[in-house]
Amino acid sequence: MGMLKYHEWQLNNLDGCLGLNLFHTVECYLIVFLLGKFFSAANFILMGFLFHHLFDEIQLIHLGKPFVRAFSVVEYFIRKKYYYTPLDEVGGRTGKNSN
């Protein structure tokens, strides 16, 4: 029940945030792509992942925040020091740049 409220709060507080969703990263897609070489069902899973991610990105572009989610785990750790996550804000931190 509380997840929808958290999601709505999160969408309204995207300024200065950087998110990492492991199932929305290039690394995850690469693993599923390689599994598709051995299991044909993985190709359908990959298509579903990409279709879902497309609509996530369309929503973020519509909100004017297309880069609040890292597209790679490596990218996340490179960009992490300049951003904070909504969970940091809930925990009382206001971001790493405002120390």
pLDDT digits over 51-70, tens only?
Answer: 999 999 998 899 888 888 88
CA distance 14 to 93: 15
- Structural domains counted in the chain: 1
Residue 1 lies in a domain: no
pLDDT at 97 over 60: no
- Residue 33 placed within a domain: yes
List the domain range (segments joined by +) for residue 80: 23-93
| Strand ranges, E, within 1-99 | none
Q: How many CB atoms lie within 10 A of CB 22?
A: 9
Query: pLDDT tens, 26-56?
Result: 999 999 999 999 999 999 999 999 999 999 9
69 domain residue, yes or no: yes
Residue 9, in any domain of the structure: no
- Return the H-helix or E-strand segment holding 68: none
Is residue 83 predicted with pLDDT exceeding 80?
no
Q: How open is the CA angle 61-56-95, to the nearest 5 degrees? A: 70
In a domain, 2, yes or no: no
Query: Looking at the domain assignment, is residue 98 inside a domain?
Result: no
Residue 31 lies in a domain: yes
* Tokens linked to 72: 């790679």
For residue 59, being part of any structural domain is answered with yes
Stated pTM of the model: 0.71
Q: In which residue are the tokens 């044909």 written? A: 40
